[in-house]
Amino acid sequence: PDVQKVMHVFCVFLVVGIGLSYGFVQIGNANIVDGTGQPISFKGITLGGWTVYDDSLFSSTSPWSVDPINQDTITTYLQDSNEKDIPNLFFGGIQENWIQEVDFNLIKTMGATFVRIPVKASDFTQPAGNTTIGFEILDNVVEWANANSIYVIISLAIASRCQNAEPYCSSSGNADLWMDSQAQLDTVQCWRGIAERYSQEEMILGYDLLERPLAPTDTHLQSMYERIIAAIRIGDPNHIIFLQGNNLGKDFAIFQSRWVLQVDNNTAYSLQIDTDSDCPSLVDYSTSVDDAVKPVELVRDDNLPVLTLYKGQCQDYLEALYEKFQGDSIFQPTGYWTYKTISYSTKPMAIFNMKDKSSWEDVRSRLDNSQFITTSEWQNFRTALRQDNFESGDVGSVIQDYFGGKSITYTWGYWWLIGLVIGLGLLLMVGVIVAGVLYYRKKKKYNYWS
């Protein structure tokens, strides 16, 4: 029995040794590195349409009688046309079913090494039981990420009163954040709360502070960034901070003075690439790609990686992008938008498209006409949103090939060697103990008979 206990303890320590924490990923010499300083190549997917409702989940042809299409306008529309709890049933169904742990497992199987989660500031003030909707979602995300060994980037897609005037963010058509001091404070506090809650989570890759910002001047944006960074670092010195340029994340002139290097030493850039709207008719895709990534040249000497965020509207454009990514190490990590879509059109091209739309269409049509929806119809609606009702789209094979191809290098560093050494050391120790116990028993038996 004593030997069995010793062996049990050995097995526990062996597993712990092999599964030692890799530590927080950091910025090092123009790379993202693990706790041992080994570079890690990150390729991932943005989980659009889950926490932030975007009209491009459908197409330019609206499935709703509202303009612009976003969660606020649809909520108002549904409240005016139906019972008060209808928006909660609709959006609650999306939040509970659009992304689940099985999706994290599938994304990991595809070869991706991170997911990017867009969030909105208002979700961190609206209560959901003993927490808020935003934290409830992110708590699940962190749990699923740990279970599937996949990293997470949290991106603020909708700041308080909106950092851009795009339809998904602003119902007024204005980027009101920049002229509202209270909205700016709320946004800073939102990030401080997120950072304090997840400061010790090693599967959080980092924070993308503002999605597609459209500030009046670069000075406005720099000031906002510096305030958010200071708030984050109060409680979280560990995670990487990603900064997008002005003019919807595509103008890097704001970074030319190299102020970022003076403000924080664990920071990277984030570049938005909007696929050319005429993608199918382009002839020279490489020239279009070169134009899209030109902002990077303004910060190349900073020796910092660039999180490259891109969409796909045709396979040729994607293949030209991938050739660029693989030929230039500064484009790490890269994140594709988006994971899945209802697919009313092919733009943008998601990795997975809904197969059977009948339950979705039935509920949507009834909501449009203020008709009663039964419990079973709501259940069919929720079931239709889950992964088993989706199939790989036209770009699915291209993206999966990129994720799983020769350039994927998820580095374990030296932790496996440390775990092996610890395991072998423990094995030797157990062997010595067992040999000692057997020798003692044999000697005792011999002395008894003599």
Q: Measure the CA–CA gap between 448 and 425, rounded to whole angstroms.
A: 35
Tens digit of pLDDT for each residue in 61-92?
455 667 777 888 888 888 876 677 888 899 89
Amino acid identity of residue 10, one-letter, is F
- pLDDT-derived band at 413 (thresholds 50, 70, 90) equals very low
Spatial CB neighbours of 288, under 8 Å, sequence gap ≥ 6: 276, 282, 317, 320
In this predicted structure, what is the pLDDT of residue 345?
59
pLDDT in tens, 302-329: 999 999 998 876 778 888 888 998 888 8
pLDDT band at 197; cut points 50, 70, 90: very high
What are the distances in angstroms from CA 413 to CA 37, 38, 153?
Answer: 8, 6, 21
What is the average per-residue pLDDT within 263-273?
Answer: 96
CB 406: neighbour CB atoms within 10 A? Answer: 6
DSSP string for residues in 68-86: S-SHHHHHHHHHHHS-TTH
Position 282 scores a pLDDT of: 57
Q: Reply yes or no on whether the pLDDT at 354 is more than 80.
A: yes
Residue 245 has pLDDT above 80, yes or no: yes
Whether 14 has a pLDDT exceeding 50, the answer reads: no
% of the chain with per-residue pLDDT over 90: 50
Question: Beta strands 334-337 and 151-158: pairing type?
Answer: unpaired
Band the pLDDT of 103: cuts 50, 70, 90: very high
Which tops the pLDDT comparison, 446 or 174? 174
pLDDT tens digits for range 337-351: 889 988 655 456 788
pLDDT band at 236 (very low <50, low <70, confident <90, very high): very high
Asked if the peptide bond before residue 68 counts as cis, ω within 30 degrees of 0, the response is yes
| Max avg pLDDT among 14-23, 85-94, 333-342, 378-387 | 378-387
Q: DSSP secondary structure string, 190-217?
A: HHHHHHHHHTT-TTEEEEE--SS---SS
- pLDDT, residue 60, reads 43
Return the amino acid letter for 211. Answer: E
Name every residue whose Cβ is closer than 8 Å to that of residue 37 and which is 6 or more positions away in sequence. 28, 413
pLDDT digits (tens, 9 = 90+) for 285-302: 778 888 889 999 999 999
Residue 401 has pLDDT above 90, yes or no: no
Predicted confidence at residue 202, as pLDDT, reads: 96
Confidence grade of residue 56 (pLDDT, cut at 50, 70, 90): low
Residue with tokens 């002229």: 179
Return the sign of the alpha-carbon dihedral for residues 375, 69, 336, 116. negative
pLDDT of residue 449: 47
Q: Pick the residue with more confidence: 404 or 25?
A: 25
| Nearest-angstrom CA–CA distance, 214 and 179 | 12
pLDDT of the residue at 134 = 95
CA distances from 233 to 120, 131, 203, 240 (A): 20, 23, 18, 11
DSSP of 284-351: -HHHHHHHHTGGGGGTGGG---EEEEEE-SSHHHHHHHHHHHHH-TTS-SEEEE-SEE--SSSSS--S
* Residues forming a β-bridge with 244: 270
Q: Which pLDDT score, from 0 to 100, does residue 380 have?
A: 96
Average pLDDT of every residue of the chain: 83
How far apart (Å, rounded) are the C-alpha atoms in residues 154 and 205? 8
For residue 276, what pLDDT band results from cuts at 50, 70 and 90? low
Specify the pLDDT at position 446.
Answer: 52
Q: Output the pLDDT for position 408.
A: 31
**What confidence tens digit (pLDDT) does each residue in 150-174 have?**
999 999 999 999 999 998 898 788 9
